[in-house]
Amino acid sequence: MPEENQDVQVPSVIATQAALDAIGKLLRTHKGVAFFQSGGCCDNSAPMCFDEGEMIVGNVDRLVGTVGGCPYYIDFRQYETYRTSQIILDVEDGEADGFSLPAGIEGKHFVTRTKICAKNACNV
Amino acid sequence: MQVNKTYVPPGMPGSIVELKEKYGNYIGGKFVPPVKGQYMDDISPTTGKPFTKVAKSTPEDVELALDAAHAAKEKWGEILPLSERAKVLNKIADAIEANEEMLSVAESWENGKPVRETLNVDVPMAVDHFRYFAGAARMLEGTITEVDKDTLAYNMHEPLGVVGQIVPFNFPLMLASWKIAPALAAGNCTVVKPASPTPWSLLKMMEVIGDVVPPGVINVVTGPGAEIGKALATSPRIAKIAFTGETVTGRLIMQYAAQNIIPATLELGGKSPNVFFEDVLDKDDDFMRKAVEGFVLYAFNKGEVCTCPSRALVQKSIYDKFIAKALDSIKKIKQGNPLDTNTMIGPQVSAQQIQKISSYVEIGKQEGAQLLCGGQKAQMGGDMAGGFFFQPTVFKGENNMRIFQEEIFGPVIAVTTFEDEQDAIRIANDTLYGLGAGVWSRDGTRAYRIARAIKAGRVWVNCYHSYPAGATFGGYKISGVGRETHRMALEHYTQVKSMLVSYSEKPMGFF
């Protein structure tokens, strides 16, 4: 059953130390990066990481939070689906999906894990 | 269907698939090493180990491919008679067909899909799409508008020139053919970027068809999406971009296309409902078994299908009986070496997919969905111990859960029940996507009503996972823009010229 957790605001995003380190590495060579939660065919839920400004942030984007000072967006249509999700940004071995930047170094990519909070209990 | 045969992996003694140590890009009719000389491992999902290397290209290689395509476009699109162009497409089909078994084994080994699928679906369908578009190319007719007695508008289709095409990993040969065949038929040259996990089988196809395609008409560049995909999609030297993949990249592709002011066609996946009405169980007959099989088709190509029927909607009155039959059938799924013709489900394409699928199973459990079977990595022995296998998985839950709303791209189905027709339509359409759907009923008028009410580009009625060349394929809602297959696809690869001719000798009289 969903875990009761009154302190977590959802939807929201946090990053593991590995993800924060990877963002730190990226920011040494990139002015800024932004994350976009994907969906759909093939790479589906991959967190896509681009140079800030590469993807034009539009009316459809909701800011879920920031990780390592970088914005994490989700499409408003997906936002409702994620209403009880806390996204945990992490890093694993393997090439980045789609057009995403790797997680700091080649051969590493960003992944999402999820914590589901009880309906209503987490909604602030 | 062939039975009881296990093919030898490519490159091993006795294999029907020759394997080189590394592969360059296919540009201008030949294999050329990447400009910067870098290669990347191609991993077999069955063993988890690299089996060959392909070019890790850079934007310079994309430029070379575009040079070759531009050099070829005038002859291919403007000088060659249509009949000759069609002949080339037919020869491509013949060459693939002559090598059907070899390409099926190559495709199976690189992607992990069972060889019984590549032998019976992927490769024969690739052949058929080239044949279909060879014919369709000659049927591409313009129209004449009689503006007045002496003034005619000749509305005709002309090629775009050079197009960019980005192919996904789930059907590397079949979806490359879906893209390449109409592009060529319409008189374009193409630069194709295969998916990063599956670049090799298309190179094997180029080995086979290279002799019959004029140099520069088809070019294949392999490499990471962030570098090669982006270089291709942003190039001002392409006149159109076609992409199959996830939504964020799709949006980015469209954004790049906007900068270039060129058309983009996108196929971005789905979360297809498969709706079973109570009458499917009225009799214990072939139709009932067909419907149960229709449910289990979520495991086709290990669930790595944009139209995977990953949401099953079963009428409440038959749920217990129906799910028991389905689970019984799922229990009999034989998982293992994809090169064994008896294997029904092979490994997922990559370790990344296993991570995503596992993550969704975890989400499903946390959301309170009921796990009816599977739910874990499947551990194989011997050489396959490092392979990316996942058990066929069934969840029961509610349509507002994330496992019902997001594409998992693995052998995971989410099942829920409905009360009546209105309820079925409401749940079926409660999704962001609209690519595919299935409707199962012995009542034809009911099936028609439901199929019309579902907002999706393809609705299968009393069948599923059939992709004939003569039916359009594409998405409603955020599942994409444009259509593939069917001769309608030619419209996405042509531009229309209206030549307005006056046969009158009289001046207009304005000046």
Q: Provide the strand spans (E) within B167-208.
A: 189-193
- Pair (B287, B245) in one structural domain: no
Residue B51 included in any domain: yes
- Gyration radius (Cα) of chain B, Å: 24
**Of B437, B397, B421, B413, nearest to B278 (Cα)?**
B421
- Pair (B282, B216) in one structural domain: no
Establish if B195 touches chain A: CB-CB under 8 angstroms: yes
Of A40, A77, A85, the CB nearest to B246: A40
Query: Which range among A27-31, A116-120, B206-210, B424-428 shows the weakest confidence by mean pLDDT?
Result: A116-120
CB contact under 8 A, A93 and B351: yes
CB contact under 8 A, B409 and A41: yes
Of B245, B255, B367, the CB nearest to A41: B245
pLDDT digits (tens, 9 = 90+) for A87-106: 999 999 998 989 999 999 98
A36-to-A47, A70, A85 alpha-carbon distances in Å: 6, 11, 15
- Pair (B232, B254) in one structural domain: yes
**Of B342, B301, B306, nearest to B111 (Cα)?**
B301
- Pair (B334, B231) in one structural domain: no
Q: What number is the ipTM of this complex?
A: 0.91
> Which of chain A's residues have a Cβ under 8 Å away from the Cβ of B57?
none
Nearest CA in chain A to B42: A95
Q: How many CB pairs under 8 A join A and B?
A: 145
> Which of chain A's residues have a Cβ under 8 Å away from the Cβ of B350?
94
B14 contacts: CB under 8 Å, gap ≥ 6:
B8
Establish if B352 touches chain A: CB-CB under 8 angstroms: yes
Residue B12 included in any domain: no
Judge whether residue A120 has pLDDT over 60. Answer: no
- Pair (B247, B376) in one structural domain: no
- Pair (B387, B401) in one structural domain: yes
B127 contacts: CB under 8 Å, gap ≥ 6:
B93, B96, B97, B100
Nearest CA in chain B to A38: B248
Establish if B223 touches chain A: CB-CB under 8 angstroms: no
**pLDDT top residue among A123 and B14:** B14
- Pair (B41, B162) in one structural domain: yes
pLDDT digits (tens, 9 = 90+) for B209-264: 999 999 999 999 999 999 999 999 999 999 999 999 999 999 999 999 999 999 99
B136 close to B151: Cβ distance less than 8 angstroms:
no
Confidence at residue B267, expressed as pLDDT on a 0 to 100 scale: 96
Sign of CA dihedral A18, A19, A22, A24: negative
B300 close to B342: Cβ distance less than 8 angstroms:
no
Of A38, A84, A102, the CB nearest to B248: A38
Domain ranges of chain A: 12-116
> Please, where are the H alpha helices in B273-318?
286-296
- Pair (B211, B334) in one structural domain: no
Establish if B229 touches chain A: CB-CB under 8 angstroms: yes
Q: Is B505 exposed, middle or buried (0-12, 13-18, 19+ CB in 10 A)?
A: exposed
> Which of chain B's residues have a Cβ under 8 Å away from the Cβ of A42?
168-170, 195, 244-246, 269, 304, 306, 409
- Partners of residue B393 on adjacent β-strands: B412
B137 close to B89: Cβ distance less than 8 angstroms:
yes
Residue B165 included in any domain: yes
**pLDDT top residue among A45 and B416:** B416
Give the closest-approach CA distance of A57 to chain B in angstroms: 11
- Pair (B376, B434) in one structural domain: yes
Element (H, E) at B108: helix B100-111
Residue B203 included in any domain: yes
Q: How confident is the model at residue A43 (pLDDT cuts 50, 70, 90)?
A: confident
**Of A96, A113, A99, nearest to A22 (Cα)?**
A96
Judge whether residue A5 has pLDDT over 80. Answer: no
- Pair (B121, B84) in one structural domain: yes
> Please, where are the H alpha helices in A1-124?
17-29, 76-79
| CATH code (residue B53) | 3.40.605.10
Interface list for chain A against chain B, based on CB atoms closer than 8 Å: 1-3, 36-46, 48, 50, 54-56, 75, 77-78, 81-82, 84-85, 92-102, 109, 111-116
> Which of chain A's residues have a Cβ under 8 Å away from the Cβ of B252?
50, 54-55, 99
Residue with tokens 């296993």: B354
> Which of chain B's residues have a Cβ under 8 Å away from the Cβ of A121?
none
CB contact under 8 A, A41 and B246: yes
Confidence at residue A9, expressed as pLDDT on a 0 to 100 scale: 78
Task: Take residue B47 and report the two structure tokens written for it.
Answer: 């063993």
- Pair (B51, B150) in one structural domain: yes
Whole-angstrom distance, CA of residue A46 vs CA of residue A6: 27
Chain B interface test: which of A29, A41, A51 (most B C-beta within 10 Å): A41
**Of B403, B356, B261, nearest to A44 (Cα)?**
B356
Q: Based on the structure, what is the number of domains in chain B? A: 2
What is the DSSP pairing of strand B433-434 with strand B264-267? unpaired
Q: Which long-range contacts (CB under 8 A, 24 or more apart) does B504-511 make?
A: B504/B150, B504/B151
> What mean pLDDT is predicted for residues A43-71?
94
Q: Which residues of chain B have pLDDT under 50?
A: none
What is the DSSP pairing of strand B311-315 with strand B412-418? parallel
Confidence at residue B139, expressed as pLDDT on a 0 to 100 scale: 87
- Pair (B278, B260) in one structural domain: no
For chain B, first and last CA: distance in Å?
A: 75
Confidence at residue A3, expressed as pLDDT on a 0 to 100 scale: 46
Domain that holds residue B82: 22-268+479-497
Would you please indicate which residues of B are annotated as catalytic (active-site) residues?
267, 306
Average pLDDT, chain B: 97
Confidence at residue B110, expressed as pLDDT on a 0 to 100 scale: 98
pLDDT digits (tens, 9 = 90+) for B414-452: 999 999 999 999 999 999 999 999 999 999 999 999 999
Domain A12-116 has CATH 1.10.3470: no
CB contact under 8 A, B406 and A39: yes
